[in-house]
Structure 1
Amino acid sequence: MASLFTPSRKVALQVLQEVREGRFAEDALSDALDRQSLSAKDRNLATELVYGVVRWRDRLDSIIRRCVIRPGTRMDPDVREILRTALYQIFFLQRIPEHAAVDQAVMYASQRSKKHAGFVNAVLRRALRDRETADPPPEKDPRRLAVYYSHPEWLVRRWLHRFGYRKTKHILQHNNSKASLELRLNTLKATPDTVSQITEESELQAIPGFPNALRVMRSSGKVETIKGFLEGSLVVQALASQMIAPLLKPQPDMRILDACAAPGGKTSHLAALVQDNARIVALDISQQRLNETAANLQRLGVHSVEFVVGDAADPQMVKELGTFDRILVDAPCSNLGVLRHNPEAKYRVTPEALMQFARIQSRILSNMAGLLNPGGMLVYSVCSPTEEETVGVVDAFLTASPGFSLLPFIREEVPMPVLVDARGFFATFPPPPEMPLDGFFAARVARK
């Protein structure tokens, strides 16, 4: 019987167990798919199930609670994961026959025990029979919104207070949507001829208004299969992330520091913007991630980067780096702006954690700013929209650092003027309705 269980569902359940134990879904899924020889169809379904279940976890659990005959029943974590996966298929994937979702779930539960199989069958049958009462639409109440859209209540309440109901609902829906795979043309290798060939032979579409940005219209499951990727003509980089490096205005022959550089998307972008003609230092705390960055940059034909392992929050270490004309501080953060890619982050971040991130970010910003040459510029960026990690960090730094001044962005510097606010900060959150972007923030400061 076990052999009949589809490989996509088996992989998904294994990955979901790893996510439950603390791994990031993206990493666990990538490792699992590398170990398995799945068809493109099975790879896509496994990916859909993993991200779908993680995105909608609280809503799926609320359905389970309504369909359990004896409320308060203690449930085996693996059985709960089986139920979540089946219910996601029933309530969110119209292309999956309901009987197939139920049969597969019962089959997998039976490997544990007949009792578990009977329990799973009963819950799923009741969910099918009482679909409307099992998954009622949300109200404007923060708690109900939080459960229905599977976000922590404290975060929903914060957004309601800051943005109001309509924008908050849009944010919640956006966060639970599927992110397109977006690429950047590597101008160090891609010529007009190769660009034309890549777009003609691959399912890629240029994104109007965004230089060198492409969107994958139909995924085969492996980015390596896209023409031009292995040759170094393409870089995986989300659209909002592609807008960060140009804000630094790097110039040839400058000495440039990319702090917290791994996995190297912005490092390679900086190199491309100066035609690989600068002295770039890529700093990261992880040797392994820096090794991966080096391999990626080699594929892209980048030769202007020196790799340094070190902690940007350590003031003694950073003094050994020397001084720079441009510094990019893409600081570690809560990842609350990239929930489409890392949905598990919303369950792991607390208000207290935001303050911890802000303290680390402040130390890194202060350390890096001390390395800036007079007249030099620094861009501080995070993929988070929280005030603690964005404006709070920048304002605290400027108050404590009279030798630096805010250098506001102007709207002509970015593809969409709405992305520059009244103070000259770059912010892609809340996402514009016409362009589903990740939530990035950036500020630019100059040394007097």
Structure 2
Amino acid sequence: MTPAARLSAAIEVLADIGARHRPASEALKDWGLSHRFAGSGDRAAIAGLVYDTLRRRASAAYVMASDAPRALVLGMLHVMRGFDLAAIAALCSGERFAPARLTEEEGARLAAPDLAAAPPFVQGDYPQWLHASLRHVFGAEAVAEGSALATRAPLDLRVNTLKADPETARAALAHLNPGPGRFSPLALRIVLDAEGKAPPLTAEPAFLRGEVEVQDEGSQIAAILAQPAPGGQVLDLCAGAGGKTLELAALMDNKGQIYAYDADIRRLKPLHERMARAGVRNVQVRSPRGAEDVLSDLEGRMDLVLVDAPCTGTGTWRRNPDAKWRVRPGALAQRQAEQARILEHAAHYVRPGGRLAYVTCSLLDEENGAQVRALLAKREDFHPVPPAEAALALGAQGPGLAAAALTTREGLLMTPRRTGTDGFFVSVMKREG
């Protein structure tokens, strides 16, 4: 397919997303199934155009004074990819499979695009209703933080120390030119190509051998700050597919016991295969069984309880740009209620002297500091570990993380702009002995 034909396809996919109100991944999959002539490179390029448009949807619509799929794609080519009027006009030739020629108004808008007078939520490319929440956290830097969330995310890997060390894994993936992480000693980072296409990592021998896992550096850091001790007793209360469970096992050198639980049994399904590939042997998966309490025997016994709480996912907008336009105030309220319930429940499993680590991939105080403050008001036997102290679990990189992140009494907030990671909030609390 020509670049112009890919552009037409992206416009078609965005029209489908808008008409059927569904995730971009589903629309892209269906487009690929109905256009089998398109090769993998074409599909990746079209996906890149679609996701880049969703990343910069607000600013692209402002530049073009329209939120029609064609207008959004044309606006994105300027605000995200830096194309000038001549380059965009060349793609819109009206020839076979190419978008129609630019109208006079489109040409005028692309000739002199200006975001200087745009509202903050447009400049930062985030939903208007979230501006007050983001400004509460970041103040005058809310636009800059939003803009960083509208960029592409790199491909981060975690070296599985049960199978390899960072240098060995880096050498095995040398053809992908991975660099080290900024803060996590376990991280390798692969920068994507100009169109945002990621390499087929899951086909790499190092991945198949279990030497590396795909995991954002911020997620890696969250597990490290929780400080699971070899030989300890750990409950991963919202384990999901097990990304942090696997890291906890490696940090504990397969010693001690991890109990992996999730209220939705379907989320746990991939964990068994992932444990086998990673060489993990100290994890016991506990699946929900109707009304039976499968965790009752763990109350008051855990050295560490990790709560990777369900949240709005505002910190992952670089990877899931369509999600930021689908999230609604009702979803935030629902997540807040879930988080409060889970966090209060989690506290019952922590032994005296043990720790409770609360983690979200959210930037909103409603889901982060406010939840911690609410728990501390109910449980006077818990106290937050100062973020600078918690960061020392990273070793030499700890002070750097504490300086780069946004810290409060309740915890530490990582963001793409500040730490180069996805957005993650981490609070470590200790129960009095």
Which TM-score applies when normalising by structure 1?
0.80
Distance 1:29 1:270, change over 3 A: farther
1-structure distance, mates of 2:152, 2:74: 19
User: 1:152 maps to which residue?
Assistant: 127
The equivalent of 1:267 in structure 2 is: 245
Residue aligned with 2:316, SS: coil
Asked if residue 438 in structure 1 is aligned to residue 431 in structure 2, the reply is no
1:386 aligns with 2:364: yes
1:417 aligns with 2:405: no
Q: 1:102 aligned to 2:80?
A: no
Alignment of 1:203 with 2:202, yes or no, is: no
Which structure 1 residue ranges, 5 or more long, are not aligned? 67-74, 109-119
Superposition map of 1:215-294 within 5 A: 215-218=189-192, 220-294=198-272
Q: Paired residue for 2:73?
A: 85
Residue 131 (structure 1) aligned to one of 105, 110, 123: 110
Aligned pair in 2 of structure 1 residues 274, 222: CA closer, same or farther (>3 Å)?
same
Contact 2:10 2:46 in 1 (8 A): yes
CA gap of 1:10–1:445, structure 2 versus 1, over 3 A, is: same
- Answer 1 or 2: higher relative contact order, Cα 8 Å, separation at least 6: 2
- Supply the distance in 2 between the matched residues of 1:6 and 1:49 (Cα, whole angstroms): 12
The answer for the alignment partner of 1:17 in structure 2 is 16
Q: Deviations over 1:243-266 (max 9, x none)?
A: 011122212232211122123211
**Identity percentage over the alignment?**
27
RMSD over aligned Cα, in angstroms? 3.6
Matches within 5 A, 1:112-123: 121=100
How far residue 205 of structure 1 moved from its aligned partner, in angstroms, is: 1.0
Quote how far apart the aligned CAs of 1:347 are: 2.1
User: One-letter code of the match for 1:204?
Assistant: P
Q: CA deviation at 1:10?
A: 3.3
Shift in Å, 1:324? 2.3
Higher mean C-alpha deviation, range 170-179 or range 210-219: 210-219
Q: Which residue of 2 aligns with 1:52?
A: 52
CA distance change for structure 1 residues 226 and 23 in 2, over 3 Å: closer, same or farther?
Answer: farther
Pair 1:182 & 2:156 matched? yes
SS in 2 for 1:378: strand
Alignment partner, residue 308 of structure 1: 286
* Paired position in structure 1 for 2:304: 326
Measure, in 1, the Cα distance between the counterparts of 2:298 and 2:254.
Answer: 20
SS in 2 for 1:354: helix
Answer yes or no: is the 8 Å Cα contact 1:404–1:445 preserved in 2: yes
> Structure 1 residues 29 and 446, CA, compared in 2 at 3 Å: closer, same or farther?
farther
Do the aligned partners of residues 250 and 91 (structure 1) sit closer, same or farther apart at CA in structure 2, a change above 3 Å counting? Answer: closer
Q: Deviations over 1:86-130 (max 9, x none)?
A: 44336543579424642479848xxxxxxxxxxx74765531244
Answer with 251-260 or 148-157: which moved more: 148-157
2:349 to 371, 376, 380: 371
| AA aligned opposite 1:171 | E
Alignment CA distance shift 1:252-1:28 (3 Å): farther
Judging changes above 3 Å, is the alpha-carbon distance between structure 1 residues 7 and 346 closer, same or farther for their aligned structure 2 residues? closer
**Could you tell me which amino acid in structure 1 is paired with residue 110 of structure 2?**
R
Partners of 2:254 and 2:282 within 8 A in 1:
yes
Structure 1 residues 23, 330: CA separation in 2 closer, same or farther (over 3 Å shift)?
farther
Aligned equivalents of 1:57, 1:424: Cα separation in 2: 33
Code of the residue aligned with 1:62 in structure 2: it is Y
The 1:295–1:10 alpha-carbon spacing in structure 2 relative to 1, beyond 3 Å, is farther
CA contact (8 A) 2:121 2:143 kept: no
For residues 124 and 203 of structure 1, the distance between their equivalents in structure 2, rounded to whole angstroms, comes to: 43
- What is the CA-CA distance between 1:390 and the residue it aligns to? 0.9
Following TM superposition, by how much is the alpha carbon of 1:242 offset from its aligned partner in structure 2, in angstroms?
Answer: 0.8
Q: Secondary structure at the match of 1:182?
A: strand
Question: Quick one: structure 1 residues 13 and 196, their matched pair in 2 at CA, closer, same or farther if it must change by over 3 Å?
Answer: same
Does the 8 Å CA contact 1:63/1:127 hold for their aligned counterparts? no
Aligned pair count reads 416
Per-residue Cα deviation, 1:276-327 (whole angstroms, up to 9, x for no partner): 2222121123333211222222222222222233399x99565365542211
Could you list the per-position Cα deviations for residues 328-365 of structure 1 after superposition, in whole angstroms to 9, with x for gaps in the alignment?
Answer: 00000011122111222322334453332111101001
Aligned twin of 1:358: 336
Alpha-carbon distance change, 197 to 161 in structure 1, aligned in 2, over 3 angstroms:
closer
